[in-house]
Amino acid sequence: LELQARLRQALADREFTLEYQPVVDLESSQVTAVEALVRWRRTEEGDDGEAVERLLLPEEFIGAAEESGLIVPLGEWVLREACAKVALWRAAEWDIGLSVNLSVRQILSSRFVETVADALEESGLPARVLTLEVDEEVLLEDPGEAVERLSALRRLGVRLAIDDFGMGYASLAHLRELRVDEIKIDPSFVRDLGADGTVTLLTHTIVRLGQDLGVQVVAEGIERPEQLEKLRSMGCGHGQGFLVARPMAAEGVEALVGGGA
Ligand code: G
Ligand code: G
Ligand code: MN
Ligand code: NA
């Protein structure tokens, strides 16, 4: 409860910030999109009583934000902030897409579809530029309602991605229930690529599945050149990971693009 109260205060005090992790076309190495990742810039008391600033990762607070329902206003802030930033980059002639992560609780909240429509309208970001990422958990809690909401979002023109694909229960069944534009291969597959024959075969199968369905495939968690090469040779279209680029502040993305923007 302590953490939840602090989260509420943090939202009021504007202590949240976004990092962006580039997604690249594995063929051309061009950055095609960025994934917005929320962080909490928190001032804490160090051992010696001095104030120290820490950048907290979602794993330290997203669970509490979901339980308290604070994920709804926090998620709305993330959407608005990220859409506004990417709209600016696009205005500078940089043809880039944006991915935003969603929690089940957000999707099922009242007015969520309107919230997304408002964020697009205010920023002027075209709907097709925005990809909303959901993990397979979304289709477990209240699948009927979740599919209904996500389909309404897709009718707005936004893209849908299944995050952490392959780790959920019945991944393939979910592709039947929900029409998606992208699947993001879970990093646990990429990690064992080449070293584990079964994992390599499964990864290749997911890539082909995407090709056959006409769905974009993004491999996540690429850390080593061999993994990148393997994915390229399988025909995996897009990738993300520390080897390619780490999550970074907006200024970092701007520097990375440099003259390209
Ligand atoms: O890079 P990282 O530690 O930031 O992300 C960890 C997890 O937190 C990922 O599963 C990611 O989907 C999730 N996450 C990051 N940003 C957001 C956000 O804005 N909203 C939600 N709901 N989840 C997020
Ligand atoms: O679940 P989701 O895919 O949204 O999670 C994104 C998370 O993955 C972020 O926390 C991000 O920092 C992390 N991440 C991104 N690339 C890599 C990578 O190459 N290796 C590892 N270990 N984590 C990564
Ligand atoms: Mn994600
Ligand atoms: Na996720």
Token pair listed for 244? 């390619």
Q: How far is the CA of 48 from the centre of ligand 2 (A)?
A: 33
Q: Which atom of ligand 1 is nearest to the CA of 163?
A: 12
Measure Cα distances from 225 to 162, 190, 222 in Å.
25, 11, 8
Q: What is the mean pLDDT of residues 229-255?
A: 97
Residue 147 has pLDDT above 50, yes or no: yes
Residue 260 has pLDDT above 50, yes or no: no
Residues 6+ apart with CB under 8 A from 121: none
Using CA atoms, how far apart are residues 125 and 96, in angstroms rounded to an integer? 11
21 neighbors 247 (Cβ within 8 angstroms): yes
Q: What is the pLDDT of residues 157-199, one digit of tens each?
A: 999 999 999 887 777 888 888 899 999 999 999 999 989 999 9
- The amino acid at 120: L
Q: What is the pLDDT of residues 6-53, one digit of tens each?
A: 999 999 999 999 999 999 999 999 999 999 999 999 988 888 889 999
Residue-level pLDDT at 1? 63
Q: How far is the CA of 184 from the centre of ligand 3 (A)?
A: 8
Write the residue with the smallest CA distance to atom 1 of ligand 1: 37
Write the residue with the smallest CA distance to atom 16 of ligand 1: 37
Task: Annotate 164-211 with three-state secondary structure.
Answer: EECCCCCHHHHHHHCCCCEEEECHHHHHCCCCCHHHHHHHHHHHHHHH
Crossing angle of the two packed helices 112-123 and 71-91, in degrees rounded to 10:
30
Residue-level pLDDT at 176? 83
Write the residue with the smallest CA distance to atom 13 of ligand 1: 58
Q: How far is the CA of 17 from the centre of ligand 1 (A)?
A: 12
Residue-level pLDDT at 261? 43
Residue-level pLDDT at 194? 87
Percentage with pLDDT > 90 across the chain: 83
How wide is the angle at C-alpha 61 spanned by C-alphas 133 and 158, nearest 5°?
15
Classify domain 2-260 at the CATH topology level.
Answer: TIM Barrel (3.20.20)
Ligand 1 contacts CB of residue 78 (under 6 A): yes
- The domain segmentation of the chain, as residue ranges, is 2-260
Percentage with pLDDT > 70 across the chain: 98
